[in-house]
Structure 1
Amino acid sequence: MLKSMTGFGRGEYEDQDFSITVEMKTVNHRYNEVAIRLPRFLNPVEDRIRKTILKTVNRGRIDVFINADYTVSGNCTLKVDKNLAAAYHKALLEIGEAIGAKDAGINPAAEIMNIARCQDVINVKEGFFDVESVWPKVEIALQQALKNLVAMRETEGGNIYGDFIYRADLIAEKLALIEERSPQVVAEYQAKLSERLTNLLADHNITVEPERLLQEVAIFADRTSITEEIVRLKSHIKQFKTIIASDQPVGRKLDFLIQEFNREANTIASKANDYTLAQIVVEIKAEIEKIREQIQNIE
């Protein structure tokens, strides 16, 4: 089944000591790129998170947002930097002296509260973080988010698959018109060439030699023959349908194949030497371009 590179997934886990929410969104990208934003205490499992995602998502830019909280009873301590607190107190006295308020009374309780709020005066020392016990909980939320993400990408991929089939069939129909019209182009050229030569040579009582006329027509037919291009483009269409029915990531294969579509269409246009065929080729190229745009969103 085709998968789009665009999607969103969310997963959650919660118990009495740990809670986590994982959100991930994916967008088009030529390669596979993962950007993870997570709380600092989950840094030890970041590599596991990345590897888990890459096992499921093969192509696209993946932005992962993780919010988590955990409680480690009895293992958290507060550390007061007494020297820093004293320095803040001294600085307050110096400020009072500088503004002429040296003898102004300072409320001890208010000063304690103010200094306690100053940066790095009170530091939290976290307890031991057990990676092995927390990782299974992280993985539950992560797998849930991935499942929802993949479901959304598959839904969008299914819509694109339907559009691909429609446009491939449309190209095949137009190619059939070209195949039907091609022999008529040679016949019309023979008739026009015969008429022109007859008119030009009539005044001199010279007749057109059938062998010479047929030779010129044969040269024209060989120069404008698009049989090989038609056969190859038919083969490309068949291959295209086979590839999009695959369960594997096919974006890069399709990207290459659609270039071959375009190559054959351009060759037909340059060799056709017929206005009607040229118009049909323009319509085919328009459908090829629509397919090419959609392929940019396929995993």
Structure 2
Amino acid sequence: MLKSMTGFGRGEYEDDNFSITVEMKAVNHRYNEVAIRLPRFLNPLEDRIRKTILKTISRGRIDVFINADYTASGNCTLKVDKNLAAAYHNALREVGEAVGAAETGINAAAEILYIARCQDVINVKEGFFDVESVWPKVELALRQAVDNLVAMREAEGGNIYGDFIYRADLIAEKLALIEARSPMVVEEYQNKLSERLNNLLAEHNVTVEPERLLQEVAIFADRTSITEEIVRLKSHIKQFKLILASDQPVGRKLDFLIQEFNREANTIASKANDYTLAQLVVEIKAEIEKIREQVQNIE
């Protein structure tokens, strides 16, 4: 199934001691890139998280945002830096002296609350945290987020698939008109050339051999022949539809194939010595460009 590279997915898990929320946002990218933001205590799981995502998603930039909390008795302790607290206490005394308020009494409770809020006076010390025990919970939320992201990418890919088929059929229709018109261009050239030569030679009472006229027409037909290009473009359209039906990531294949579409269209345009053919080629190239823009969003 065709997949877009853009999408969003969210997954959650919660129990009495642990809760986690995983959000994933994917956008277009030439390669596969995963950026993960997660709490420090889950850092040992970052590589597993990345590998789990890459098993399912093969192309695009994926930003992963993980928020998690855990509570366990005895897992955290508070440590008071007594020397730093004493230094703050002495600094407050010195401030009082500096402003001429050394004799002013300081409310003990207020001072304690103030010093407790000062940076690094009270520090949280984390105890041992068993990441192995929480990995199944993290994986559950992660896979839920990945599945939701993939579902959104597949839904968008389905819309793009319909647009691709529509435009490929339009190109095939216009190519059929070009193929039908091409022989008429040679015939019209022969008639115009014959008419001009006859008018010119009649003025000088001169005749031209029919073989010579046919030779000139044959040279023109060979120079403007677009049969090979039409056959190749038809083949590309058929291959395009086959690739769209693949279950594998096809973005890079389609990107290359669309370049071949353009190559054949440009060659037809350079050989088309006819206004109608030129207009049809312009319309084909317009459809090719629309497909090319959409291909940039395919995984």
On whether the aligned pair clears a TM of 0.5, the verdict is yes
The offset of 1:125, in angstroms, is 0.9
Displacement of 1:183 in angstroms is: 0.2
1:208 Cα deviation after fit:
2.0
2:244–2:250 CA contact under 8 A, matched in 1: yes
Equivalent residue letter for 2:52: T
- Matched residues in 1 for 2:47 and 2:91: separation? 45
Which position in structure 1 is the counterpart of 2:181? 181
Secondary structure class of the residue paired with 1:56: coil
Instruction: Find the aligned partners of 2:99 and 2:46 in 1 and give their Cα distance.
Output: 52
Q: Secondary structure at the match of 2:26?
A: strand
Partner of 2:146: 146
Q: Which deviations, in whole Å up to 9, do the C-alpha atoms of 1:167-204 show, x marking residues without a partner?
A: 00000000000000000000000000000000000022
Q: Is contact 1:35–1:63 with CA below 8 Å preserved after alignment? A: yes
Name the Cα RMSD after superposition. Answer: 0.7
Output the amino acid matched with 1:113.
L
In 1, Cα distance between the equivalents of 2:34 and 2:94?
A: 52
Deviation at 1:33, TM superposition (A): 1.1
Count of residue correspondences: 299
Partner Cα distance (2:243, 2:133) in 1: 43
Q: Distance in 1 between matches of 2:270 and 2:99?
A: 88
Distance 2:205 2:295 in 1: 63
Higher deviation after alignment, 274-283 or 36-45: 36-45
1:198 aligns with 2:216: no
For 1:54, give the aligned amino acid: L
Judge which range, 90-99 or 264-273, deviates more.
90-99
Structure 2 residue 113 is the aligned partner of structure 1 residue 113? yes
Instruction: Kindly state the Cα deviation for residue 94 of structure 1 after the two structures are TM-superposed.
Output: 1.1
- Does the CA-based 8 Å contact 2:75-2:129 persist in structure 1? no
Structure 2 partner of 1:89: 89
Letter in 2 for 1:101: A
**Structure 2 CA distance, aligned partners of 1:90 and 1:34?**
50
Q: After TM superposition, give the deviation of residue 131 of structure 1 in Å.
A: 1.1
Find the counterpart in structure 2 of residue 136 from structure 1: 136
* d(CA) in 2 for partners of 1:59, 1:115: 52
Q: By how many angstroms is 1:75 displaced? A: 2.5
Structure 1, unaligned runs of 5 or more: none
Helix, strand or coil for the counterpart of 2:184?
helix
Distance in 1, Cα, partners of 2:89 & 2:48: 47
Q: Percent identity?
A: 89
Instruction: Write out per-residue CA displacement over residues 142-190 of structure 1, whole angstroms, 9 at most, x where no aligned residue.
Output: 0000011000000000000000000000000000000000000000000
Tell me if structure 2 keeps the 8 A contact 1:186–1:221.
yes
Distance 2:93 2:257 in 1: 78
Q: Aligned letter for 1:243?
A: I
Partner of 2:26: 26
**8 Å CA contact 1:72, 1:127 repeated in 2:** no
Q: Where in structure 2 are the equivalents of 1:1-299 lying within 5 Å?
A: 1-299=1-299
Query: Which runs of structure 1 show a deviation greater than 6 angstroms over 4 or more consecutive aligned residues?
Result: none
Task: Give the alignment's TM-score, normalised by structure 1.
Answer: 0.99
Given that 1:229 and 1:267 are in contact with CA atoms closer than 8 Å, whether structure 2 keeps it comes out as: yes
User: Aligned-pair distance for 1:46?
Assistant: 0.9
CA deviation string 1:206-226 (max 9, x = no partner) = 112110000000000000000
- State the Cα distance separating 1:103 from its structure 2 match: 1.1
Q: Which sections of structure 2, spanning at least 5 residues, go unmatched?
A: none
Partner deviation per Cα, 1:270-290 (whole Å, 9 max, x = no partner): 001100000000000000000
Quick one: distance in 1 between partners of 2:53 and 2:90?
A: 53
- Could you tell me the TM-score, scaled by structure 2's length? 0.99
Please give the alpha-carbon distance, in whole angstroms, between the structure 2 residues aligned to 1:164 and 1:91: 73
**Aligned-pair distance for 1:96?**
1.0
Counterpart AA for 1:192: K
Q: 1:115 Cα shift?
A: 0.4
